[in-house]
Structure 1
């Protein structure tokens, strides 16, 4: 049955509105799916037994001992243009380790941070926090190694940290570079670090 002259404009308006809505949703998805956090200030691991520089990255080396703890720190920055809500620093130890403690410290946007500002003093337990555009956050993590350690001279390493955040209401996960490598290796049979040409061994 042919549409009446009065109903045709209404159908066109509905079609145009639907196309506009699809366009807005598509743009929203494109922005949120491409949105990325940046690495902030680079730190290290104060209790590493050795630090080795290679390919412009510092490797912080630790011995794997049952139940040992390892501290490291890194920065996260929101380049904008939207405020994001940082929800979680994800524990990906998979049995090798667990996050025993995660603390955070927000950086002022009004002044350049001093060495004291960049330290763990005044850090508080991690909680979901809003990061405005150009804002930064320091994250201090304590790992607790499991009781089962790798075989002699074997281990694991990582140079990124997975975080969960939301932007424009859309949940996202991302691997954020921590600016250095954390390497954990089981000792040799004599209990000492395994020989490594990079350390002159």
Structure 2
């Protein structure tokens, strides 16, 4: 008796039927191994590995240098430029001429003494020297308020005077400036004196603007007239 649901014409599959049969006498075929690089390729990769590492390190170093050149180098150059400019100084040279005045010498110091009278204009000409190794552009000569004011500045040249405007002084050269001064009202009685030996000079060197008190070689003095002076 045939079990219910079973076809008598069907044959149960033999598990051995699923594998392909190999012909008698044929060479056995090995199963393909997992993906493995051929020995020649693997050897070449090992040989080139140090070179690749060195190349990667070199590229990294080039990238670091590039970043430094873009970011750090300009900042360092700017800082160095400012340090050099901060150490730069101009020097007031010799006195050349001036309006009516007296010269007084004491202790190796010469004073160019003018009449202290607010109604009178005085002129004082002196040289401004650039002893450093870089050109400078003089932009302004001024004076702190008090005692006198600089009302005009001219540049003296072999061809005569010309109005002051920003002017360059080459390294090792000088510039002759003519100042027109007006004093304030005297702060004392007859024979009262006041003096100064510095002028404020604003200039540019190495692209950095500086303002520096420059000491004159001669003292600029003023005295109120009096019989006992």
TM-based fold match above 0.5: yes
> In structure 2, what is the equivalent of residue 51 of structure 1?
103
Pick aligned residue for 1:67 from 113, 119, 125: 119
Q: CA deviation at 1:11?
A: 5.9
Pick aligned residue for 1:36 from 83, 86, 89: 89
How far apart, in 2, do the equivalents of 1:193 and 1:80 lie? 46
> In structure 2, what is the equivalent of residue 100 of structure 1?
151
Kindly provide the CA deviation profile for residues 156-191 of structure 1, in whole angstroms up to 9, marking residues without a partner as x.
20122211100111101122232211111223xxx4
Q: CA deviation at 1:67?
A: 1.6
- Structure with the larger RCO, 1 or 2 (CA within 8 Å, 6+ apart): 1
Kindly provide the CA deviation profile for residues 93-150 of structure 1, in whole angstroms up to 9, marking residues without a partner as x.
x2532223221124xxxxxxxxxx5xxx71111111111112211111121123x321
Pick aligned residue for 2:187 from 147, 150, 156: 150
Q: CA deviation at 1:54?
A: 1.4
Q: CA deviation at 1:15?
A: 5.0
Alpha carbons 1:42, 1:180 under 8 Å: kept: yes
Alpha carbons 1:44, 1:60 under 8 Å: kept: no
Alpha carbons 1:150, 1:186 under 8 Å: kept: no
How far apart, in 1, do the equivalents of 2:133 and 2:124 lie? 29
Pick aligned residue for 1:78 from 100, 107, 130: 130
Q: 1:100 to 1:23 in 2, by over 3 A?
A: closer
* Residues paired across the two proteins, number: 171
TM-score by length of 2: 0.65
Q: Cα RMSD over matched residues?
A: 2.5
Match of 1:16, SS state, is helix
Structure 2 residues not aligned, in runs of 5+: 1-55
TM-score by length of 1: 0.73
Structure possessing the higher radius of gyration over alpha carbons: 2
Structure 1 residues not aligned, in runs of 5+: 107-116, 195-201
How far apart, in 1, do the equivalents of 2:228 and 2:217 lie? 24
Kindly provide the CA deviation profile for residues 72-99 of structure 1, in whole angstroms up to 9, marking residues without a partner as x.
111011123211111011133x253222
How far apart, in 1, do the equivalents of 2:146 and 2:130 lie? 31
> In structure 2, what is the equivalent of residue 137 of structure 1?
175
Q: 1:66 to 1:81 in 2, by over 3 A?
A: closer
Match of 2:118, SS state, is coil
